[in-house]
Structure 1
Amino acid sequence: MDGPVGGPRPRALARAWYAQKRWLYRGGRPHGLARALNDVWGRLYARGWLSLGRGATLQVRGRTTGRTLTLPVVVAEHRGAHYLVSMLGDDAGWVRNVRADDGRATLVAGGRARAVRLVEVPVDDRPEILRRYLDLAPGARPHVPVARTAPLADFRRVAADFPVFRVEERPRQ
């Protein structure tokens, strides 16, 4: 059955979009096109363009190269705190880099860089944050096997698979 104006149904479009997003990150890693798109989005978010106040660029030190790596992220606000979520789970490079560097990172948004410490949130505290993140980050929805409107019990089942980090200010040294 077609949608209201004779085009494809919204669910069919969503399925196609989700399949495309999963293809860009097949194997849990961004491939060539995804890296290029991430670079563009990261630059836009760093300048405060198109981020709607929730996009930022995360800079982390590579655990093997020591080089600064950058990627676009969505910062989810929940109960007065800010959080980053790994839509690709534990194996995402930025997660491993942050863990190896004791949570040190830099967030750039609106042209301002700030040194932060990312503190991993215990699994039991993640479900509400994951739900909030999916509300704000439509690009992450294909990677998280829970509908954003699902009950918290569904988020509890997947919480261990998706690292969540609380953003804290890091004193300048």
Structure 2
Amino acid sequence: MKPQDYSARTEYRPPAGWYRRLNWLGVLLTSVGLAPRDAVTLQVRGRRSGKLRRVPILRTRYQGKDYLVALAGESQWVRNVRAARGDAVIRRGSARHVRLEELAPADRPDIIAEYLRAGRRRSGADANANQARFYFGLDPDPSIDDIRTIVDHYPVFRVVHTS
């Protein structure tokens, strides 16, 4: 199954129905630590409802720090993190309170490049090529200059552990 195509440059791209229906499984697997090593569950309060929202997400390790890359761009979790001023919890087995700091677009290319490299190691070249194409609208193995052209549309957050 090919991933949902998020490569169009729009303000908000809602997830496909199949993804929303399977979200609970990703949350369960990442929360208990049965997903790939870099998969976690992000918990953040909904900006309108105040309810705790959970989303499975891949953490990217770069130069000794953890980052979250918003593959769908201006997604609901991104909006909720901004409204919560970065206050969130990351779960993988146990819960850790964190503060998420959004990076300026100029600071995002290296993190997105590392996200793609990690995807290649985790899933192989074909899956990584699909990820570059469907999520970022890039050719497989994009250059850092290619990545710079899309960073305005893909928020990246540094994970700062507070507990």
Q: Do the structures match in fold with TM over 0.5?
A: yes
* 3-state SS, counterpart of residue 47 of structure 2: coil
Q: In 1, Cα distance between the equivalents of 2:98 and 2:26?
A: 21
Query: With structure 1 as the length reference, what TM-score do the two structures score?
Result: 0.79
For the pair 1:119 / 2:101, whether they are aligned, the reply is yes
Preserved contact between residue 74 and residue 136 of structure 1 (Cα < 8 Å): no
State how 1:24-173 maps to structure 2 within 5 Å.
28-51=13-36, 53-90=37-74, 92-109=75-92, 111-137=93-119, 138=128, 140-141=131-132, 142-171=134-163
Distance 1:170 1:148 in 2: 36
- In structure 2, C-alpha distance between the alignment counterparts of 1:124 and 1:67, rounded to whole Å: 33
CA contact (8 A) 1:87 1:140 kept: no
Q: Deviations over 1:68-115 (max 9, x none)?
A: 00010000000111000111112x001011001110110001x11000
State the TM-score, normalized to the length of structure 2. 0.84
Q: Which has the higher contact order (CA 8 A, sep 6+)?
A: 2
Q: Offset at 1:148?
A: 5.0
Unpaired runs of 5+ in structure 1? Answer: 1-15
- Paired AA for residue 48 in structure 1: G
**Cα distance, 1:143 vs structure 2:** 1.5
In 2, the alpha carbon distance for the partners of 1:104 and 1:148 equals 34
Distance 1:102 1:140 in 2: 29
Q: Percent identity?
A: 34
The Cα offsets for residues 116-170 of structure 1, whole Å up to 9 and x where unpaired, read as 0000011111101001112334474311112352110001111111000000012
Between 38-47 and 137-146, the greater mean CA deviation after superposition: 137-146
User: Could you say if the C-alpha distance between residues 33 and 97 of structure 1 is closer, same or farther in structure 2, counting changes exceeding 3 Å?
Assistant: same
1:5 paired residue number: none
Equivalenced residue count is 148
45 and 140 in structure 1: CA distance in 2 versus 1, 3 angstrom threshold: farther
Instruction: Output one character per residue of 1:55-79: Cα deviation in whole Å (capped at 9) or x when no partner.
Output: 0000010000000000100000001
Helix, strand or coil: the match of 2:2?
helix
Distance 2:110 2:139 in 1: 13
**1:140–1:84 distance in 2 versus 1, CA, 3 Å:** farther
